[in-house]
Chain A
Amino acid sequence: MSALPETAPHDAARSRAAEVAERLARALPPESVLLDREDLKPYECDGLSAYRATPLVAAIPADEAQVAAVLAVAREAKVPVVARGSGTGLSGGALPHPEGILLSLAKFNRIVEVDARARKARVQPGVTNLRISQHVAPLGLYYAPDPSSQIACSIGGNVAENSGGVHCLKYGLTVHNVMRVHAITIEGEAIDLGADALDAPGYDLLALVTGSEGLLAVTLEVTVKLLPKPELAQVVMASFPDVESAGEAVANVIGAGIIPAGLEMMDRLATRAVEDFVHAGYDLETEAILLCESDGTREEVAHETERMIEVMRASGATDIRCSASEAERLRFWSGRKAAFPAVGRISPDYYCIDGSIPRGALAAVLKRIEELSARYGLRCANVFHAGDGNLHPLILYDANMPGELEKTERFAADILELCIAVGGTITGEHGVGIEKINQMCVQFGAAELAQFHAIKAAFDPEGLLNPGKAIPLLARCAEYGAMRVKAGALPHPELPRF
């Protein structure tokens, strides 16, 4: 992977690091500034471990004034800053900049206030997603977005990535469940985006900052919306003889006017991998499994699951089971939630993809992935947020086999460009980060990319916050050679070709 070079610290970089560290040490307690290579090791990658870089220095501030001080140092020394929460991101968004400061928000881990009557909580960015729901459970409330990594991922990271989860179709993404973000700009100004009210005056900067991958501001506090916990949730698990009929069933459920709380698909390879791991009792002889959840009051759930089962049956399901208890519901879900680690057990390495497509294109896309899998000679397990069209193909590979990682990357790029070709997108919920930066050149034209850079400059004129991520430079696009022919013209005609 050639994104950012691994740096061997030479003398100039060393003295630069020492200088920045010295300035930081004047503003922060000494133990909050890390300079030794050994201490920096834990920060060299996030959840996308194929990309690694050692930051110049890491700062671990404990309050807003200390964050402001770190940003002031960055500004004065003109060094980049990369903010980091739990480091679970899957697109390299928190990959350190080798010439910059890694800003860890790990000490921002307090739940500041819960207002049960107003159904909201103010939390610091380092609080984990799951902890919010656990904390407010005694009040009969919860925080809806539930990425699979919810036990570890932080809410600050969720805001940066606009994280989803398995319940998005009904309850929305992070952007739909956050009311207010308190942040600080690289210029050191505190800003409040959104409000305790249901809207705020002016431009919707809250929507703009959500999913901005740490390029616009540093989040210091998040007010999340809490929802009443549904009285009951029940999941229908159905087996299908092929992915086409499973895809058809998904369309039919929604066509029948049902919005399931969760609607997930796993293919045969994924099902086998997770069954070995969690022993949930999945149907191993079938080509595709759908998990379709209903939640709400007892009356709603009884009525809705009955209709779901009817639709599944009419769509050709060969086996249908409905969870009879909360324990069984969790068991049905356990495999889906553990899909990534389970696949990790059957292959030395795996590469997770995050494309989003119109649901109607599902069967065609899966068929094409199967063909690509044969062509590259790499197995691919498919888990799919079927309800909202978000695919997670997992390519199985062995990094120790020469050339296999490069082959995997080409396979992944083909899948992402396939997603664009059917009217979808290169990332549904994991973000662009460093991983999908080249595919951004395929998804967007030069004018859109220039507009993105102008937006960045409105918040961060000097380009110090997480530079090099999320939005590619036009020069990089020319290099990638994404010769997207659009109405007979090359996508970036203003740039020289080689």
Chain B
Amino acid sequence: MADPFVSALCERIKASAEARRTLRVRGGGTKDFYGNAPRGDDVLEMGAHSGIVAYEPKELVLTVRAGTPLEEVERALAAERQMLPFDPPHFAGSPSAATIGGVVASGLSGPRRPYAGAVRDFVLGTRIVNGRGEALAFGGRVIKNVAGYDVSRLMAGALGTLGVITEVSFKVLPRPASEVTLAFAVAQAAAIEKANHWAGKPLPLSAAAWEAGVLRVRLSGAPPAIAAARAKMGGEEDPGGGAYWEALRDQRLAFFSGGAPLWRLSVAQTTPPLLPEHAQLVDWGGGLRWLRGELDAAALRRAAQEAGGHATLFSAPDKRAGAFQPLAPAILKIHRRLKAAFDPAGILNPGRMYDF
């Protein structure tokens, strides 16, 4: 009954823990740039642990091994007119090598996130191997489940530092019957204002982003609902809408090209324009502010914190400033203890998130 890949993984992690050899966990490698530089005495390749374990469209539940390519999962869902609602980025390459394990470990969600939810919102269960080499199962394949602590959601965004994800169960949703993108020529402040105003109304929003004087808003749902919303909102239909959101999600827009450092500021959605002297792109209806350039890390982190959020040095040749916002001391203490609770030898992806 035990999966041979998982059994071997347990043995390997146990041996590494005993020998204090650190491990760098790797799926498709499309997010190697994200977080602090990956390091480890050995690389733990997860790509071979691939395949859809179970998919019941009428249950809205999909179970998949961690090494399965994201594109394979999305194809299977598309065949049933369903989707991963959190819109995970694929990043580099076509076909992208991104795997489901990396999708969950990075915790990154795309433009649909403010209106549909984040990765963690759709994780129902995970199987992991912790730093002791124990195969553990948390959550399950049912939509409501409050037995035990919610370790599955904790894995989303933990960057593989608490355990190696081997399998994930997701709640999936039907694809919208139709989608339309509207464009509005407005300045950043007005765009943020509009996006928040509409989000407070019963309108079928599914994305809202602003760059270079244009606010784009996507509507998703039944055609009559979209038609009614359009009548209330005005704006022009953007025929390139669908492609725009994918390019934004995968950072293929011109804004993201070149080697200048890329900062991601996650702030309260209603925050007025921050640091307007710098070029920026706004996503998540005001909740994400992307900035480019050699910027003062401390100043950005202060600005983000004052706006109810945090700043991440998302991609940059030099991450000496630290990829992630420093944590408050009491929170950092819990982080260290949790890390020790899952990985007492400190061998899983050390330093990828913070200095542990």
Interface residues of A (CB under 8 A from B): 115-119, 140-141, 161-162, 164, 168-169, 172-173, 175-176, 185, 189-193, 195-205, 207-208, 210-212, 216, 228-231, 251-252, 254-255, 257-259, 296-300, 302-304, 356-360, 385, 388-390, 423-432, 436, 440, 443-445, 447-448, 451-452, 454-459, 470-471, 487
Contacts and interface: CB of A to CB of B under 8 A. Distances in A.
Contacts of A252: 58
A202 B327 contact: yes
Contacts of B59: 251, 254, 358-360, 389
A302 B224 contact: yes
Given A198-B114, A203-B335, A423-B142, 8 more contacts: A195-B309, A196-B268, A211-B146, A228-B201, A298-B228, A427-B145, A430-B146, A471-B148
B312 interface: yes
Contacts of A168: 143-144
B199 interface: yes
A79 B140 CA distance: 35
A216 B325 CA distance: 24
A202 B352 CA distance: 11
A303 B196 contact: no
Interface in B99-132: 107, 113-114, 117-118, 120-121, 130
A249 B267 CA distance: 43
Given A116-B200, A451-B151, A169 B143 contact: yes
A116 B288 CA distance: 20
A380 B220 CA distance: 42
Interface string B1-26: 11000000000000000000000000
A300 B154 CA distance: 35
Nearest to A191: B330
A202 B324 contact: yes
Contact of B224 (A202, A303, A432): A303
B179 interface: no
Given A201-B327, A358-B141, A360-B56, A300 B284 contact: no
A417 B353 CA distance: 39
Contacts of B225: 296-297, 299-300, 303
A251 B337 CA distance: 43
Given A447-B136, A455-B149, A205 B121 contact: no
Question: Which residue among A203, A230, A254 has the maximum number of chain B CB atoms within 10 Å of its CB?
Answer: A203
B156 to A, nearest CB: 6
B351 to A, nearest CB: 14
B148 A118 contact: no
B324 A297 contact: no
Q: How large is the interface on B (under 10, 10 to 19, 20 to 34, 35 or more residues)?
A: 35 or more
A96 B116 CA distance: 39
B328 interface: yes
B93 interface: no
A189 B330 contact: yes
B31 to A, nearest CB: 16
Contacts of A172: 117, 121
26 contacts: A117-B196, A140-B201, A162-B146, A173-B144, A185-B334, A191-B328, A195-B308, A197-B269, A197-B310, A198-B288, A199-B118, A202-B327, A208-B151, A210-B150, A212-B149, A228-B202, A229-B202, A255-B58, A304-B222, A443-B147, A448-B148, A451-B341, A452-B151, A454-B342, A458-B334, A458-B337
B238 interface: no
Contacts of B135: 447
| CB-CB nearest 10 A-B residue pairs | A196-B308, A197-B309, A454-B341, A428-B144, A458-B337, A207-B153, A257-B174, A299-B224, A189-B330, A300-B225
B47 to A, nearest CB: 25
A203 B146 contact: no
B328 A208 contact: no
A359 B57 CA distance: 11
B224 A198 contact: no
B269 A198 contact: yes
A455 B128 CA distance: 15
Contacts of A190: 330
A203 B158 contact: yes
B40 interface: no
A218 to B, nearest CB: 14
A425 B138 CA distance: 11
B331 interface: yes
B207 interface: no
Contacts of A423: 140-142
Nearest to A228: B202
Given A118-B268, A427-B147, A192 B228 contact: no
A424 B140 contact: yes
B143 A118 contact: no
A299 B222 CA distance: 9
B151 A428 contact: no
B227 A487 contact: no
B237 interface: no
Interface string B32-72: 00000000000000000000000011111100000000000
A427 B228 contact: no
A359 B58 CA distance: 8
B174 A389 contact: no
B28 interface: no
Contacts of A299: 222, 224-225, 227-228
B266 interface: yes
Nearest to B224: A299
Nearest to B329: A189
Contacts of B227: 299
B153 to A, nearest CB: 4
Contacts of A196: 267-268, 307-309
Contacts of B173: 259
Given A164-B144, A207-B154, A443-B147, A303 B222 contact: yes
B170 to A, nearest CB: 14
Contact of A176 (B117, B136, B146): B117
A447 to B, nearest CB: 5
B142 to A, nearest CB: 4
A296 B202 contact: yes
Contacts of A257: 81, 174-175, 177
A110 to B, nearest CB: 21
B287 interface: yes
B337 A297 contact: no
Interface in B145-186: 145-151, 153-154, 156-158, 162, 173-175, 177
B331 A202 contact: yes
B134 A141 contact: no
A141 B268 contact: no
A304 B224 CA distance: 10
Nearest to A450: B134
A205 B202 contact: no
Nearest to B155: A204
B274 interface: no
Contact of A198 (B151, B162, B266): B266
Question: Which residue among A259, A297, A456 has the maximum number of chain B CB atoms within 10 Å of its CB?
Answer: A297
A176 B121 contact: yes
Contact of A258 (B174, B307, B337): B174
Contacts of A440: 147-148
A338 to B, nearest CB: 21
Nearest to B2: A487
Contact of A140 (B81, B200, B267): B200
Interface string B186-197: 000000000011
A175 B150 contact: yes
Contacts of A487: 1-2
